[in-house]
Amino acid sequence: MSEANTRESTDYDCDLVIGGGGPAGCSAGVFCARADLDTLIFDRGRSSLRRCAHLENYLGFPAGIDVETFYDLIHDHAERAGCEVVPDLVEVVLRREAGGFVIETQENRRMSARQVVTAARYNAEYLRPLDDEGEMFESYEYDGEEHERFDSDYPDSDGSTPIEGLYVASPSDEDDQAIMAAGRGARVAQGVIADARMANGWWEEAAEGVDWMRQEAGLDDEWAERETWIEWFDDYYGEDAPVSPGSERFRRVRETYIDEQFATYLSTEEIEARTERGHRALSEHVDPESIVGAVGEEKLLEAMDGVAIREYVTTHEAR
């Protein structure tokens, strides 16, 4: 974890707890973990996505994808990004006297976190102890009886709420497609990351960032020099920053910001390595036997590169 993102208080068990491991929760987790937030996702496998017979409209899967494989993929992605995915259910979220929250789960886990994101569509009852003002839930009538549900108007459009550190990425009626829910999770994560940075000395303009990897070949000689970035940062943020450009706080944020920028530039070799890792990660979720049965061994080999063919042949010769 980079210095400027390190928690001020070390007595939290983690930076962030996410309740719900569907598209919204995992998407939020991927972004937050990549920003060096220590992130736990609690998921009992009850995502509303489970009601889908076959996911047909999620971009990147031309023939659609079965829900079980998709669910495995998003959990794998969250874990590779740095999240811990725990098969448990959040039972209650309580305020912590020293700040942040205490989370208790169905399987008697108890932990503290600075921030909490709720990403479960149908049940936010575990937040009720936080509802001091009685504004979090709304009443509605169904089949002649009065019921309560989480008020979708309680959070702002960016997922923030009147309670510091609490965010809502739960899909609303406007996010009733998996890809929209994932987009909502990513948007909420941006606010979570910015708020975590500001709690550690950043200011709003500098804390807002974009998770984007760049080609090192696009980094010309001038911008390959750290001094160029220092001058740019001082000019861009120094004049309106709420802290003195000569302060230790300003320098600390600047150094971390520049370190993060340099880390986004990838060499050709690293791009190739990441491409190979990405293909291998996808292949781990595909059943080779089912592909052979569907397209035939000859067509399968035509679609595979040399390394994959050698591995395929070696595996089948060993049988």
Q: Is the pLDDT of residue 17 over 50?
A: yes
* pLDDT score for 1: 40
Q: How far apart are CA 191 and CA 203, in angstroms?
A: 13
Is the pLDDT at 143 greater than 90? The verdict is no
Mean pLDDT score across all residues of the chain: 87
> Regarding the domain with residue range 3-198, which homologous superfamily does it belong to in the CATH classification?
FAD/NAD(P)-binding domain (3.50.50.60)
pLDDT of 304 reads 55
Can you tell me the distance from the alpha carbon of 5 to that of 7, in angstroms, rounded to the nearest whole number?
A: 6
Q: What is the mean pLDDT of residues 124-153?
A: 88
Note whether 284 and 232 are within 8 A (CB).
Answer: no
Mean pLDDT value across residues 33-44:
96
**Residue 153 β-bridge partners:** none
Calpha distance 174→286 (Å, rounded): 32
Average pLDDT over residues 68-72: 93
What pLDDT does 8 receive? 45
What pLDDT digit, counting tens, does each position of 254-299 carry? 999 999 999 999 999 999 999 999 999 998 887 766 655 555 556 5
The band of 198, judged by pLDDT with boundaries at 50, 70 and 90, is: very high
Give whole-number Cα distances, 6 to 12, 49, 156, 256, in Å.
Answer: 12, 35, 27, 11
Residue 266: phi and psi, rounded to 5, are -110, 135
Angle between the N-to-C axes of helices 268-283 and 67-81, in degrees from 0 to 180, rounded to the nearest 10 = 140
**Section 211-230 average pLDDT:** 93
With residue 298 as reference, give the H or E element that holds it.
helix 297-302
Residues in the chain, total: 319
